[in-house]
Amino acid sequence: LILVLDFGSQTSQLITRRVREQNVFSQLARPNLSAERIKELNPKGIILSGGPASVYGEDAPQADPEIFNLGIPILGICYGMQLVCDSQGCEVKSGESREFGRTPCTVSDHTNLFSGVPTNFVAWMSHGDQVQNLSEHFTSLASTETCQFAAVKHHSKPFFGLQFHPEVTHTEFGGMLLSNFVQKVCGCEGTWRISNLIEQEIESIRERVGDKRVICGLSGGVDSSVVAALLYRAIGSQLSCIFVDNGLLRKGEADEVSHRFGEHFQTDLHVVDAQEMFLSELAGVSDPQEKRKIIGRLFIEVFQKEAKSIENAQFLAQGTLYPDVIESGANPDGPAATIKSHHNVGGLPEQLGFELIEPLRELFKDEVREMGHELGLPDDLIYRHPFPGPGLAVRCLGEVTEERLKVLREADLIVIDELHKANLYRKTKQAFAVLLPIRSVGVMGDGRTYEDVAAIRAVETDDFMTANWSPLPHEVLERMSTRITNNVRGINRVVYDISSKPPSTIEWE
Ligand code: XMP
């Protein structure tokens, strides 16, 4: 285990990800986790992340000073480096010039951390403060034009500091630096694999569940499918799955989920057809938050009713991921909660009376995909774009009606089909059609038309918290537009959404 203490940098999570890429397990923890608790967790190394504060600021978050007496190797990054140096008697000051962006860096010591890194490389800097004077215990390992101590090490203790950010891809050889720290300095062997984790999870699920049943809600997306596949491997036919057809799914989706299920699992599947109920409660509602509330409430009602009909069920399995755990502040050792950018309508409240099983709690999305792959799920399911819990209701702007959903489904299918044909589905992380609540004038043959407008949305993103609009080739956009206006009755105009997040969101509602 490599523990990453989070001092509030935007890239703290990224550090844990990069360490895991070295096949070493890593977790994010709150900055002031006590040295005693750290000792219990027994990590092979500690990384102190960057952060927005100044070590001399009034509210500067501090680490427990005892962590420097545990004998555990420590790597400080940016603010983390300033903390390490400050604690060991070096002087940290506001730099004469702030350094931001790509910065040429020169290495003067190629042992340990910089083993294999060339003398000149480009590092990503983002700091105002920097270490001004080293105490006699430290030496410099690398420098930039304005930062004499871009990297430092302690003479006798296993402490290192990097003023730049090795975790971001803009830093050349950043992966090598982190790998040198975890392997050469901390002595991690790099044996952590998803397949080990699968075995561990299976054992712990079997032990917990005994002869009881486990219910798993399926959505058709990758997370719930991986949870189901893992549980199926652990407890076979003691698994019952529930799939709620809320009438807000894409074309053919409900059939596809059932069909797929039959291919992979020989166990109980409850498909609940609640289309009418959802659509009748949504009738006349056009406010986005109101729609979400109705859908969330109905989902819980429908799910609960079905779950109660399943005998001997004591557990509910959910696909909660590591970023959700971090963002919700649910882990007592983890960082405090941050504002969650969306409301997971698929999430079920604890009052349902089941014990929760969350086998993906330690995993990032790409690790979930790897697990899905190991469990034998097909690639097209593993790489499926995310689809929001409230479904097409938040893409059918204004009132949601059966007819409008039908129009939207046809347009959406064309967008996705053309993306696949252009081999851009994987590169684009989420894409869909949106049906706008306005009509515009068009011309068809000799006649004037007055019909709906569809927008195409396609984004590229790593984490869905920020996203750039995809620069789809004009030919692809043209094929989408022509097919939609020619084949989808009711749409005479197609526009392309060229807004990034922020300030826009990915969904339109
Ligand atoms: P936004 O629109 O907030 O979306 O930029 C970010 C990601 O979250 C998904 N999303 C939702 N997922 N329930 C969900 O389960 C919701 O209410 C919801 N709203 C947005 C969105 O599809 C994107 O992947």
Which two tokens mark 403?
């007819």
Residue 504 lies in a domain: no
Q: Is 9 labelled as part of a ligand binding site?
A: no
CA of 219 to the centre of ligand 1 (A): 14
> Could you tell me if residue 507 is inside a domain?
no
- What stretches of 283-364 show up as alpha helix (H) in DSSP? 288-308, 322-328
* Distance of CA 345 from the midpoint of ligand 1 (Å): 9
Q: Is it the case that residue 354 has pLDDT exceeding 70?
A: yes
**Shared-domain flag, residues 74 and 148:** yes
Predicted confidence (pLDDT) at residue 387 exceeds the cutoff of 50: yes
- The confidence score (pLDDT) of residue 349 equals 67
* Ligand 1 pocket, Cβ-based, cut-off 6 angstroms: 292, 341-346, 386, 388-390, 430, 464, 501, 505-507
pLDDT band at 10 (very low <50, low <70, confident <90, very high): confident
391 annotated as a binding-site residue:
no
Say if residue 130 is in the same domain as residue 57: yes
Taking 90 as the threshold, does the pLDDT of residue 323 lie above it?
Answer: no
The residue behind tokens 């059966």 is 402
Looking at residues 462-488, what average pLDDT do you find?
95
The 268-273 sheet, strands edge to edge: 268-273, 239-245, 213-218, 313-317, 355-357
Residue nearest to atom 18 of ligand 1 (CA): 388
Write down the residue that tokens 């506001």 correspond to: 94
Output the domain CATH number for residue 139: 3.40.50.880
Nearest CA to ligand 1 atom 11: 388
Q: Which of 185, 209, 227 is the last residue of a domain?
A: 185
Alpha-carbon distance of 235 to 213, in angstroms, equals 9
Return the structure tokens found at 265.
């699992």
Q: Is residue 448 part of a domain?
A: yes
User: Higher-confidence residue: 127 or 385?
Assistant: 385
The reply to whether 453 sits in an annotated binding site is: no
Nearest residue (by CA) to ligand 1, atom 24, is 386
Among 462, 507, 508, 509, name the best residue to mutate to test ligand 1's pocket (greatest count of ligand atoms within 8 A of Cβ). 507
Q: Is residue 299 in a domain?
A: yes
Look at residues 119, 153, 185 and tell me which one is the last residue of a structural domain.
185
Kindly report, residue by residue over 13-43, the tens digit of the pLDDT.
Answer: 889 989 999 999 999 999 999 999 999 999 9
Q: Which atom of ligand 1 is nearest to the CA of 387?
A: 22
User: Residue 389, exposed/middle/buried by CB under 10 A (0-12, 13-18, 19+)?
Assistant: buried
pLDDT of 98 > 80? The answer is no
Are 24 and 153 in a shared domain?
yes
Q: Is the pLDDT of residue 343 over 70?
A: no
Residue 390 Cα to ligand 1 middle (Å) = 9
> 57-66, 477-486, 487-496 — which is least confidently predicted?
57-66
The residue whose C-alpha atom lies closest to atom 9 belonging to ligand 1 is 388
What are the phi and psi torsion angles at 169 (to 5°)? -70, -15
Q: Would you place residue 341 in the very low, low, confident or very high pLDDT band (cuts 50, 70, 90)?
A: very low
Using DSSP, state whether 85 is helix, strand or coil. helix
The total number of structural domains that make up the chain: 3
**What mean pLDDT is reported for the chain?**
93
CATH number of the domain where residue 312 is located:
3.40.50.620
Q: Check if the beta carbon of residue 81 is closer than 8 Å to that of residue 162.
A: yes
**Separation of alpha carbons 179 and 18, rounded Å:** 9
What pLDDT does residue 344 have? Answer: 46
Per-residue confidence (pLDDT) for residue 350, from 0 to 100: 67
Q: Find tokens 């209701």 and name the residue.
A: 393
Calculate the alpha carbon distances from 118 to 159, 164, 177, 276, 484 in Å.
Answer: 22, 16, 11, 65, 53
Q: pLDDT band at residue 339, thresholds of 50, 70 and 90?
A: very low
Percent of the chain with pLDDT over 90: 82
If asked whether residues 267 and 413 sit together in one domain, one would say no
**Catalytic option among 165, 172, 370, 396:** 165
d(CA 359, CA 230): 8
Question: What's the one-letter identity of residue 179?
Answer: S
The pair of three-digit structure tokens given for residue 427, joined into one six-digit string: 């590169």
Short-list 35, 38, 31, CA closest to 53: 31
Residue 446 counted as an annotated binding residue: no
CATH code of 464's domain: 3.30.300.10
Q: Are residues 231 and 295 in the same domain?
A: yes
Residue 128 belongs to what domain range? 2-185
Q: Does 223 appear as a known binding residue?
A: yes
Contacts of 143 (CB under 8 A, 6+ apart): 105, 106, 108, 149, 150
Strand, helix or coil for residue 433: strand
By the 8 A CB rule, do 370 and 205 touch? no
pLDDT(220) > 60: yes
What number does the ligand 1 atom closest to the CA of 430 have?
Answer: 24
Identity of the residue numbered 223 = D
Q: Is 220 annotated as a binding residue?
A: yes
Residue tagged 């702007």 (tokens): 397
Domain boundary among 153, 185, 217: 185
> Could you tell me the pLDDT band of residue 347, with boundaries at 50, 70 and 90?
low
Q: Are 328 and 347 in contact (CB under 8 A)?
A: no
- Return d(Cα 99, Cα 450) in angstroms, integer: 56
Nearest CA to ligand 1 atom 21: 388
Q: Is residue 317 part of a domain?
A: yes
Q: Which residues lie across from 46 on neighbouring strands?
A: 3, 74
- The active-site residue, picked from 78, 105, 241, 396, is 78
What's residue 328's pLDDT? 73
The three-point CA angle 366-369-374 to 5° equals 130
Shared domain for 205 and 323, answered yes or no, is yes
- Please give the model's pTM, rounded to 2 decimal places: 0.81
With a cut of 90, say whether residue 284 has pLDDT above it: yes
> In this predicted complex, what is the ipTM?
0.99
Instruction: Compute, in angstroms, the gap from residue 465 CA to the centroid of ligand 1.
Output: 10
Largest CA distance in the chain: 87
- Nearest-CA residue for ligand 1 atom 4 is 506
| Residues 6 or more apart in contact with residue 355 via CB below 8 angstroms | 314, 315, 316
Torsion over CA: 189, 194, 195, 201 (sign): positive
Residue 225 marked in a binding site: yes
**By alpha-carbon position, which residue is closest to atom 14 of ligand 1?**
388
Residue 39 lies in a domain: yes
In terms of Cβ atoms closer than 10 Å to its own Cβ (0-12, 13-18, 19+), residue 37 is middle
CA of 413 to the centre of ligand 1 (A): 19
pLDDT confidence tier of residue 345, bands split at 50, 70 and 90: very low
Average pLDDT of span 334-343:
57
Sign of CA pseudo-dihedral 37, 39, 40, 42: positive
Counting from 1 in the atom list of ligand 1, the atom nearest the Cα of 501 is: 5
Q: Residues 324, 251: one domain?
A: yes
Q: Which atom of ligand 1 is nearest to the CA of 389?
A: 15
pLDDT category of residue 337 using cuts at 50, 70 and 90: low
Residue in 456, 501, 450 with CA at minimum distance from that of residue 479 = 456
How far does residue 507's CA lie from ligand 1's centre (Å)?
Answer: 6
Cis peptide before 502 (omega within 30 of 0): yes
The answer to the question of residue 484 being in a domain is yes
pLDDT at 336 over 80: no
Rounded Cα distance, 114 and 129, in Å: 23
Do 60 and 95 sit in the same domain of this protein?
yes
Catalytic residue, from 127, 147, 167, 370: name it: 167
pLDDT of 348 over the 80 cut: no
> How far, in Å, from the CA of 266 to the mean position of ligand 1?
32
Question: Residue 353's pLDDT is what?
Answer: 85
CB 390, CB 245: distance < 8 Å: no
> Which atom of ligand 1 is found nearest the CA of 346?
15
Mutate to test the pocket of ligand 1, among 248, 298, 434, 506 (most ligand atoms within 8 A of CB): 506
Q: Please, are residues 186 and 73 in contact by the beta-carbon 8 Å criterion?
A: yes
State yes or no: pLDDT of 346 exceeds 80: no
Q: Is residue 505 part of a domain?
A: no
Does the annotation mark 167 as catalytic?
yes
Distance CA 56, CA 166 (A): 24
d(CA 132, ligand 1 centre) in Å:
45
Please give the pLDDT value at position 338: 57
502 vs 68, 387, 464, 465, CA distance in Å? 40, 19, 11, 8
Question: Pairing state of beta strands 120-133 and 91-107?
Answer: antiparallel
Residues 444 and 401 in one domain: yes
Contact between 248 and 390 (Cβ < 8 Å): yes
Assess whether 170 and 248 both reside in one domain: no
Distance of alpha carbon 34 from the chain centroid: 28
**CA-505 nearest atom, ligand 1:** 5
Please check whether residues 413 and 491 belong to one and the same domain: yes
- Does position 333 have pLDDT exceeding 60, yes or no? yes
Query: Which residue, 34, 46, 27, is CA-closest to 84?
Result: 46
Instruction: Indicate whether 347 and 460 sit together in one domain.
Output: no
Note the pLDDT tens digit of each residue in 434-466: 999 999 999 988 899 999 999 999 999 987 888
The DSSP secondary-structure symbol of 169 reads: T
Phi, psi angle pair for 278, to nearest 5°:
-65, -50
